[in-house]
Structure 1
Amino acid sequence: MLRFAPSPTGDMHIGNLRAAIFNYIIAKQTNQPFLIRIEDTDTARNIEGKDKEILSLLNLFGLLWDKLVYQSHNFSHHQKIAQYLIAKDKAFYCYCTKEFLEQKREEAKAQKRAFRYDESWAEIHKDSNPKPVVRLRGAREEIGFVDEIKGEISFNPNEIDSFVILKDDGIPTYNFACAIDDMLYDISFIVRGEDHVSNTPRQILVRKYLDYTKDIGYAHLPIILGESGSKMSKRDNASSVSWLLEQGFLPQAIINYLIAMGNKTPTEIFKLQDAIEWFDIKHIAKSPVKFDIKKLRFINREHLKMLNESELALLLNTKDASVGGLAKLYLQEASTLNEIRDKIDSIFAPKDIYALYEEQDFSEPCEILYKAFVALMAEHSPALREYGALKTELMTRTGLKGKNFFKPLRILLTGTSHGLELNDLYPFLQLFLTDIVRLKS
């Protein structure tokens, strides 16, 4: 079984989504179930409703799961296993106060050495601290594993000291709950971010002490860098999956981009189903990858081009395929749904002819042209059916020509003084002239 294990403590990061995509693909490739495990052990940081938001996003991206579990539902199971480990002398109660441990950390820092927990401290405060934690005994030998991206990784025993598996309120820690649940649900392979590399030997140690012999495969994804070259943080808007969607990027384009990042793909533009045919986790680059919004914009435009007029219209909240046809024309200069919406909204909004366009005042020729246009519509003139005939008729009636004709005509039809050729736009615009040729009061 493959799993994606998000925490409901904040917005979904693109790095999390990338891990979810890869786990999903490998599950499909190997014909194994795909599990979503909501890791809600950090009760203080859990945000109400974030789990539903995560599930909604996964659904939107087509990452449909076979099983959904909440880690908190297994708390009693985790606690029983902790007691079993205590009975086997693989874990023990630690009565150290937080103040004592902080003092030891400061001493280590002052001496410029790594802080390591000493098991001899365990009962120092037994008489004064009624709420002990439970710690797993530290590693006694080297722990190593093969990472499908990074290769062989090993940790010396002194790098894995005795760590907390149950907090003083009985709630399991992340590493303990994670290790137990990966056993419980028979997880075979894990794709996650490289910030988890140091967690992996601790989780292996938990299973080792429980005599769990199944080998779990690992692939730790390199971090995603922001455009500045530093690690992408929550302050980077583009790090948020919700923000990218709000900007008008398509789910299928985001998937395409995240799979292609630091990867060798047979084609530049593809869909999730295509990737299932050829994806290989071993081809992911070991080094960090920089997030390139320009590249995402290019991929998004290509996916928008793949939609037909009706599909594009629905994404713009209309069932009129003609609007979808108009939107497809604007893909010459727009890359996201938001940019297309701005173009379409500008066309259908009442026109402000008294505004300055390119720092020029076209209000007078706009007024003249508007009156002639309204007259043609009132007459149901045949000239309205074709751009060439319309242009000739309006020029004849108004006496306008050159820039004083074409700029005002474009303003009345599109709300801007420059853009795509009116000759290309007009076959779609002429279907909505009464909605388009209106002035702002």
Structure 2
Amino acid sequence: MTTTNKRKLTLFALTWPIFIEVLLHMLMGSADTLMLSQYSDDSVAAVGVANQILALIIVMFGFVATGTSILIAQNLGANQQKTAREISAVSIGANLLFGLLLSVLIFIFGKPILLLMNIPTELMDEAKSYLLIVGGFSFIQSLIMTIGAIVRSYGFTRDIMYITIGMNILNVVGNYLFIFGPFGFPVLGVEGVAISTTVSRILGLVVSVIVLLKRIDGKLPIKMLYSFPKVHIKKLLNIGIPSAGEQLSWNASQMVITFFIAMLGTEALTSKVYVQNLMMFILLFGVAISQGTQIMIGYMVGSGQLNEAYKRCLNSLYLAIGISFLMALLFSFFSENLLGIFTDNKEIISIGTTLILLTIILEPGRSFNLVIISSLRAAGDVKFPVYMGIISMWGVSVTLAYILGIYFELGLVGIWIAFIADEWLRGLLMLWRWRSKVWHKKSFVEAKAV
């Protein structure tokens, strides 16, 4: 296993499968938006608001999934097959219980949450319908995430990629049937998209379980699914909670900013959804590079190659900045055409074009955070990115979004300027932290502890 891992540890070899998998996940979300845009702009805005809440829930499932991935990899590397199987079972049971709890809470409190987000009245019914169906079955997603983390840790990354492809195809077919109503199918709009998303996830889960039982080395200890031994739970949470804290804070701050945007009206909400769907494809490159870099730095730090780890992070950062800048520039040239795929509303296209132009500045700043935060985590410096993230996201992004967007009435342009200020401030702080090499001591402690 060690030889194989060393042979595969190049940025390209690690990044391209991650790139494809993340791309497929993004396409699954964009498929809903694109197909719904042919049905109604209001429906797009309603699903966009509901997805802000669902994104927060998915991050919470990541608490267990992140810890699972790291612990299983460590135990497999140490040839502790039995412990790896135990952690697999415990993580599935823990995230299932957590997922069921959140599903029930969403089903009960879905409408009050939407009201708190100040959603326009005309969007409430559709947003509520989508949230209750997809959110009510969110425990399915918790299991998919956990099993995916386990299978990837066992080295079968392509299996998860193929499952994701299948889920995408089923989701698109289901959307087509329920939005356009061919062959006598009922036209259900947002409700149909929610059903399609849920059914594709259920079928994806069934296949994921089959793959897990086939790929795992030995039998899964069924007792561990519900016994929850304290030693394993503690380790999962100790790794997972700090790693997910920064992302959790970001999603929560985005929900507050969505509340501000809702004050600007339905067109502003719809514009945000369309532009952020396009931005995800620019972000994709940075996400793939950061995750590949994280794996490489983890190995380098573990083997004491601190200088190589330092250089690897910076080289990956330069690559991510360059690619994100060029992609944002390319998207800005074709912004009207790209937005025209989703809508023919001239006001939305006009606002969206300006926001994509600002993205040329925004996305390179985001690359700092994607690459360096992943590197700091891999080196054992977990808490600093969380603390700085919370301060910047709420002190800069949320605060400036209200001051510029609402108080000074700059609208979405003001809110995008707030995003830029947040990403660049955090990014430069992360770069300072990496260059200070404080993580040298932390990585030594982590390596020693392991």
TM-score band w.r.t. shorter chain: under 0.3
Higher relative contact order (CA 8 A, sep 6+): 2
Instruction: Compare CA radii of gyration and give the structure with the larger one.
Output: 1
Q: TM-score, normalised by structure 2?
A: 0.18
Q: TM-score, normalised by structure 1?
A: 0.18
Which is strand-richer, 1 or 2? 1
